[in-house]
Structure 1
Amino acid sequence: MNLSYSPFDLDIQDDPYPVYTRLREEAPVYRNETDDLWVLSRHADVVAALRDSSRFSSINGLRIEPAFWGPDAEKFFSFVAMDPPKHTRMRGLVSRAFTQRRVQELQPRLRQIAHSHLQPLVEAGTFDLMTDFAARFPTDVISELVGVPEADRDKLRDLGMAIMYREDGSTDLPPEAFAAIGELVGYYTELTIERAGERRDDLLSGLLDAADGDDRLTPEEIVGVLILLVGAGIETTMLLLGNAWHAAWQHPEQRAKAFAGRVEDWVEESLRFDPPTQAIARTTTEEIELHGVTIPAEARILLLTGSANRDPRVFPEPDRFDLDRDTGPSVALGSGRHHCLGANLGRLEARIALQGIVDAIADYEIDAERVRRVYSSNDRGFASLPTRVTAHR
């Protein structure tokens, strides 16, 4: 059977891992003429490209759909769609506000938010993990971090969902998604103006105060960072929670370990085994020779992080979900200068959310007949995970 890979193939999106295996072994540099893509799938090649921003540029963004790809990509992805020195400046300023201290100080509030969402679900005994919890919790966390008033959070959650959710595999943003982006830009612009006049102890105030000498973020740059948080800060965590939930359900022995105090390992192995971000796009700045293949300059490259995390050269028995393995080499959250700035927050959210559920229940079952996936060229996860929980006796 001929090897064929497209990030838009819905059958592949259902289970990409067998195709990844063939790509790594048969075509580590794969050419897709139809989508005008070059694809790298081995761990070593993906890591090398992620760490080489001089030859693998982020200037056109990290998603290849027409709505996202091109010189205007930074409107969607802020500094993630920039190269040095522009990226260095922006990330440096954002880092001054998005500190580890700020993240750690959120812990008690994150537990309260998780508990408030989980308690009625656990008491009901049945719920949809995705729509009832995984989509709501990280949205409220980002709102808490940024400083969005509680009265506005339902509205922000609805706008975020209009942008993020895709179940049909479409490659273009629908009109309602563009409308939601416009509303979010308008809302965050007004909130930024308001906070400029009255600082609070939140990320938005921190972004307004972030400075390197006389250099500060402009209001437009701040709004861009806040829009980025919808995808990078909400969608990724939402999908991670669902993927971890599903993987543990499919592997009872590992689920038992997770429920016996191994929630952190559950999170890390889920990130490796079935990461929410499967692919990251780059653009070559010059001709590149790799594995006997010449990739031209200005080529669109897709770096399959989902495949890299299943490379047997790095992870023994990579298709086995195993909480005891070393997940250190995982590229689920990127590598190099574009390593996810919110990685610590995402991990903390996942640990608090899953620990909250583990503390409240003895076990759970997923209704396999009603599971639905999100279809996307670069994201992997679920739209629906109907769940029945067993309370502690």
Structure 2
Amino acid sequence: MGNGGGRAPEQARSFPLGADEPGDIAVDTFYSPFDFEIQDDPYPVYSRLREESPVYRNDKDDFWALSRHADVIAALKDANRFSSVNGLRLEPAFWGPDAEKFFSFVAMDPPRHTRMRGLVSRAFTARRVRELEPRIREIARDCVRPHLDGDAFDMMTDFAARFPTDVISELVGVPEADRGKVRDLGMAIMYRDEEGDDLPPEALAAIGALVGYYTELTMERGRERRDDLLSGLLDAADGTDRLTPEEIVGVLILLVGAGIETTMLLLGNAWNAAWRHPDARAAAFGGRIGDWIEETLRWDPPTQAIARTTTEDVELHGTTIPADARVLLLTGSANRDPRVFDDPGRFDLDRDTSGSLAFGNGRHHCLGANLGRLEARIALEEITGLVADFEIDEPNAQRIRSSNNRGFATLPSRVTRRR
């Protein structure tokens, strides 16, 4: 289903765009989330989609894409016509009626989604997140300080790949001795080096290994409760209704992507955005951490696309999206829509970011958004408390390869320590 290269077959290039000048031949746009060239910088493509092809069809990869803010937010709020039951990602391993094995209640519609989210919310409380803050700060310090003794530091490999994993492991109740294994399995699931729309065998094996590990941990916690999220999930009840062990393991697998990957990528994207915008960097390092995080979530969000399935024909902008169609909601494009954000390509810490769709919207708005923001704030506070300034070694920076997420695998930096 992937296009297999930086260019697509002609049939995948639908909805021709206008020529630049009279006499020019119109050039069709092309968008695929599996294309590495587009992954490197999707924003020019998003701009063309929004202006000329707001309802885009890719025949080769078999999906439609919505790119305007108004259309994306409307679809996110319309669970009746835009269903989540086939999952959030288009890869064959993740897509289909078994998607809830990977995405838990996020790949469900009401009433099943309502039940599951309600029970999980009873365990994943604001109080539990608040009480974790001192421990999150300890983890951040433990992760970052050993790597800032000199003037070289890699935001991703030295810090961001470990920090959110250890936070989620702390939250869940994963023993410290097992956290390295959980981190490695999560990384094996999330990324790959070759272009295409399927998962390699090692990623599938890692998913199986994580399911096995979390199943054993759930059984152990069933025998002996502790003060952690896993115990809270086991005890969560609505009358006599409780989560099954299989449902709990599904929630823990979801946390690999929703709780670890998003925060990891957000930290790298914030670091990169600050380096590219010196005035904003000075303000951020001067204390405007919260504004730095929120504008990064708008300007270069970790999650770029969310998949849905239409339950009926949908008429939009003179085009009919048929029932049972796969639709990508391009939240990364919506966050750059000039109809909502003035001069959207500008990184501006003074901007009103309340229209950002970085954590989704509607009934599937990210349940862990507050934890993600808290993690990012603490991490960047700890780093900027030690670092006065930095620059990125751009030639040696590497991006991840992902169909729906955006960020870095490596961000080597030269830092100037605070005196």
Give your verdict on TM over 0.5. yes
Quote the offset at 1:157 in angstroms.
Answer: 1.0
For the 8 Å contact 1:159–1:180, the answer to whether it is kept is: yes
For the 8 Å contact 2:56–2:65, the answer to whether it is kept is: yes
Superposition map of 1:141-160 within 5 A: 141-160=167-186
Partner residue in 2 for 1:376: 402
Pick from 231, 240, 245 the counterpart of residue 266 of structure 2: 240
Superposition map of 1:23-34 within 5 A: 23-34=49-60
Check if 1:300 corresponds to 2:326: yes
Superposition map of 1:1-12 within 5 A: 1-12=27-38
CA distance in 2, matches of 1:105, 1:231: 23
CA distance in 2, matches of 1:223, 1:297: 32
CA distance in 1, matches of 2:313, 2:215: 41
Check if 1:100 corresponds to 2:126: yes
Superposition RMSD on alpha carbons, in Å?
0.8
Partner residue in 2 for 1:206: 232
> Counterpart amino acid of 1:276?
P
Superposition map of 1:217-236 within 5 A: 217-236=243-262
CA distance in 1, matches of 2:195, 2:167: 28
Check if 1:63 corresponds to 2:89: yes
CA separation of 1:168 and 1:127: change in aligned 2, threshold 3 A: farther
Check if 1:118 corresponds to 2:147: no
Identity over aligned pairs, percent: 77
CA distance in 1, matches of 2:257, 2:194: 18
Quote the offset at 1:177 in angstroms.
Answer: 1.2
CA distance in 2, matches of 1:169, 1:282: 23
CA distance in 1, matches of 2:272, 2:246: 39
Q: Unpaired segments of 5 or more residues in structure 2?
A: 1-26
> Counterpart amino acid of 1:306?
G
1:106 is paired with a residue of what secondary structure? helix
CA distance in 2, matches of 1:235, 1:165: 10
Check if 1:363 corresponds to 2:389: yes
CA distance in 2, matches of 1:134, 1:11: 24
Higher relative contact order (CA 8 A, sep 6+): 1
Partner residue in 1 for 2:196: 170
For the 8 Å contact 1:240–1:275, the answer to whether it is kept is: yes
Quote the offset at 1:158 in angstroms.
Answer: 1.1
TM-score w.r.t. length of structure 2? 0.93
CA distance in 1, matches of 2:154, 2:181: 21
Partner residue in 2 for 1:284: 310
For the 8 Å contact 1:273–1:319, the answer to whether it is kept is: yes
Q: Deviations over 1:221-271 (max 9, x none)?
A: 000000000011101111111001001000000000101110011000000
Q: Unpaired segments of 5 or more residues in structure 1?
A: none
> Counterpart amino acid of 2:170?
E
Runs of 4+ in 1 over 6 A off after TM superposition: none
Check if 1:185 corresponds to 2:244: no
Check if 1:322 corresponds to 2:371: no
Quote the offset at 1:352 in angstroms.
Answer: 0.5
Check if 1:130 corresponds to 2:131: no
Quote the offset at 1:167 in angstroms.
Answer: 3.4
Quote the offset at 1:213 in angstroms.
Answer: 0.4
Count of matched residue pairs: 393
Quote the offset at 1:332 in angstroms.
Answer: 0.5
For the 8 Å contact 1:167–1:383, the answer to whether it is kept is: no
1:313 is paired with a residue of what secondary structure? coil
CA distance in 1, matches of 2:414, 2:231: 41
CA distance in 2, matches of 1:357, 1:47: 34
> Counterpart amino acid of 2:73?
V
Quote the offset at 1:334 in angstroms.
Answer: 0.3
Quote the offset at 1:127 in angstroms.
Answer: 2.1
Check if 1:40 corresponds to 2:63: no
Check if 1:271 corresponds to 2:308: no
Quote the offset at 1:124 in angstroms.
Answer: 2.6
For the 8 Å contact 1:249–1:255, the answer to whether it is kept is: yes
For the 8 Å contact 1:372–1:384, the answer to whether it is kept is: yes
> Counterpart amino acid of 2:264?
M
CA distance in 2, matches of 1:168, 1:347: 31
2:303 is paired with a residue of what secondary structure? coil
CA distance in 1, matches of 2:410, 2:183: 17
Quote the offset at 1:351 in angstroms.
Answer: 0.5
CA distance in 2, matches of 1:149, 1:382: 28
CA distance in 1, matches of 2:193, 2:277: 26
